[in-house]
Structure 1
Amino acid sequence: MERSRSAFDHWMHKHHFTFRDTRGRNITVQCNLCLPKINILSTARDSTSNLKKHLERKHSVVCRRKIRDTPSSDAPSSDGPSSYGPSILEKETAEPSEAKEAKIDPTIYYQTSQSRLNTLVFNFIVEDVQPISILEQAGFRRLIEILSRGKKVMSQNAFITKLEVVFNKMKGELKVKLDRVKTLCTTADVWSVQDRSYFGMTCHWLEDNLERKSAALACTRIPISYTCETIIAKIQEIHSSYNIESKVQATVTDNGNNFIKAFKEFSSEDDQDVEQSHFEDLGSILCDGEMGGDFFLSYFLPPHQRCASQTLNLIASKDLADAVSKGQTGKLHSSATEKCAAIWHKVQTSTVAADAMESIAKMKFTFPCLNQWSSEYYAINKLISLTDSQLNELTEVLGVPCFTPDETAYLTEYTDVFKPVAFALDLLHGEEKCFLGIVIPTLLTLKRKLEEKAANTRLFSKVIDSTVKAIDSRFKQVFDSSDARLATATMPQFRLWWLPEDERESLRAQLVTEVLQVDQGTEETETNGGSVHEDEFFSYGPGSSSNKGGKREASEEVWLYLQGTNKDLKCLNEFPGVKKVFIKFNTTLPSSVPVQQLFNNGGNIMTPKGHHLSDEHFERVLLLRYNSKITTALE
Structure 2
Amino acid sequence: MQQQFSKKITTPSIQEQSSSSSSRPIQYFMREVAPVSQEKFNKLVLNFVIQGLHPLSIVERAEFKELFKQVLPSRHVMSRKTLVRMLEDQYISMKTDMCKVLSEQEFVATTTDAWSTNHKSYLGVTVHWIDSDTLTASSGALACRRIKGRHTYDTLAEMLESVHMEFSIQNKVVLTTTDNGSNFVKAFSVFAAEEKVTEDDEENDEEADVEFTDVAAFLQETKKDDFHLPAHQRCACHSLHLVATKDAEAAVEDSSFKKISRAAFAKCQSLWNKQSRSTRASDNIKDRL
Q: Which bin holds the TM-score, normalised by the shorter protein?
A: 0.7 to 0.9
Q: Which residue of 2 aligns with 1:186?
A: 110
Q: Which residue of 1 aligns with 2:36?
A: 112
1:142 is paired with a residue whose SS is helix
Q: Which residue of 2 aligns with 1:222?
A: 147
Q: Which residue of 2 aligns with 1:239?
A: 164
Query: Offset of 1:128 from its aligned partner?
Result: 2.2
Asked if residue 318 in structure 1 is aligned to residue 243 in structure 2, the reply is: no
Q: Which residue of 1 aligns with 2:185?
A: 260
Alignment RMSD, CA only? 3.3
2:141 is paired with a residue whose SS is strand
What amino acid sits opposite 2:103 in the alignment? D
What amino acid sits opposite 1:174 in the alignment? M
Where do residues 455-494 of structure 1 align in structure 2 (5 Å cutoff)? none
2:109 is paired with a residue whose SS is strand
Where do residues 326-475 of structure 1 align in structure 2 (5 Å cutoff)? 326-338=254-266, 340-341=268-269, 358-362=282-286
**C-alpha deviations, 1:158-186, integer Å up to 9, x for none?**
21111111100010111000000110000
Counterparts of 1:179 and 1:343, CA distance in 2: 56
Query: Offset of 1:307 from its aligned partner?
Result: 1.0
More strand by share: 2
Distance 1:323 1:128, change over 3 A: same
What amino acid sits opposite 2:156 in the alignment? I
Q: Which residue of 2 aligns with 1:302?
A: 230
Counterparts of 2:254 and 2:17, CA distance in 1: 72
Query: Offset of 1:210 from its aligned partner?
Result: 2.0
Query: Offset of 1:321 from its aligned partner?
Result: 4.9
Asked if residue 170 in structure 1 is aligned to residue 94 in structure 2, the reply is: yes
- In structure 2, runs of 5+ residues without a counterpart are 1-8, 22-27, 196-219
What amino acid sits opposite 1:230 in the alignment? T
Asked if residue 140 in structure 1 is aligned to residue 85 in structure 2, the reply is: no
Query: Offset of 1:266 from its aligned partner?
Result: 1.1
Distance 1:202 1:358, change over 3 A: same
Counterparts of 2:112 and 2:36, CA distance in 1: 42
| 1:188 and 1:253 in contact (8 A); partners too | yes
| 2:274 and 2:281 in contact (8 A); partners too | no
Identity %: 33
2:229 is paired with a residue whose SS is coil
**C-alpha deviations, 1:13-65, integer Å up to 9, x for none?**
xxxxxxxxxxxxxxxxxxxxxxxxxxxxxxxxxxxxxxxxxxxxxxxxxxxxx
Counterparts of 1:231 and 1:342, CA distance in 2: 46
Q: Which residue of 1 aligns with 2:51?
A: 127
| 1:203 and 1:217 in contact (8 A); partners too | yes
Q: Indicate which of 168, 176, 181 corresponds to 1:251.
A: 176
Where do residues 9-28 of structure 1 align in structure 2 (5 Å cutoff)? none
| 2:38 and 2:75 in contact (8 A); partners too | yes
Counterparts of 2:81 and 2:272, CA distance in 1: 47
**C-alpha deviations, 1:201-238, integer Å up to 9, x for none?**
00000013221111111110002522111011101100
Q: Which residue of 2 aligns with 1:624?
A: none
2:222 is paired with a residue whose SS is coil
**C-alpha deviations, 1:276-306, integer Å up to 9, x for none?**
xxxxxxxxxxxxxxx943124x311111111
What amino acid sits opposite 1:265 in the alignment? V
What amino acid sits opposite 2:135 in the alignment? L
Distance 1:304 1:136, change over 3 A: same
- In structure 1, runs of 5+ residues without a counterpart are 1-72, 76-84, 95-100, 271-290, 364-384, 387-635
What amino acid sits opposite 2:286 in the alignment? K
Asked if residue 211 in structure 1 is aligned to residue 136 in structure 2, the reply is: yes
Q: Indicate which of 86, 94, 106 corresponds to 2:13.
A: 86
| 1:195 and 1:224 in contact (8 A); partners too | no
1:328 is paired with a residue whose SS is helix
Q: Which residue of 2 aligns with 1:618?
A: none
What amino acid sits opposite 1:218 in the alignment? A
Distance 1:137 1:345, change over 3 A: farther
Where do residues 87-102 of structure 1 align in structure 2 (5 Å cutoff)? 87=14
**C-alpha deviations, 1:503-542, integer Å up to 9, x for none?**
xxxxxxxxxxxxxxxxxxxxxxxxxxxxxxxxxxxxxxxx
What amino acid sits opposite 2:75 in the alignment? K
2:129 is paired with a residue whose SS is strand
Counterparts of 2:189 and 2:119, CA distance in 1: 29
Counterparts of 1:346 and 1:195, CA distance in 2: 40
| 1:325 and 1:334 in contact (8 A); partners too | no
| 2:251 and 2:257 in contact (8 A); partners too | no
**C-alpha deviations, 1:600-621, integer Å up to 9, x for none?**
xxxxxxxxxxxxxxxxxxxxxx
Where relative contact order (Cα < 8 A, 6+ residues apart) is larger, the structure is 1
| 1:236 and 1:299 in contact (8 A); partners too | yes
Query: Number of paired residues?
Result: 248
Distance 1:216 1:341, change over 3 A: farther
Counterparts of 1:354 and 1:190, CA distance in 2: 43
Counterparts of 2:273 and 2:80, CA distance in 1: 44
Counterparts of 1:342 and 1:234, CA distance in 2: 49
Counterparts of 1:361 and 1:90, CA distance in 2: 51
Distance 1:343 1:105, change over 3 A: farther
Where do residues 535-546 of structure 1 align in structure 2 (5 Å cutoff)? none
Q: Which residue of 1 aligns with 2:6?
A: none
Where do residues 558-577 of structure 1 align in structure 2 (5 Å cutoff)? none
| 1:325 and 1:333 in contact (8 A); partners too | no
Larger radius of gyration: 1
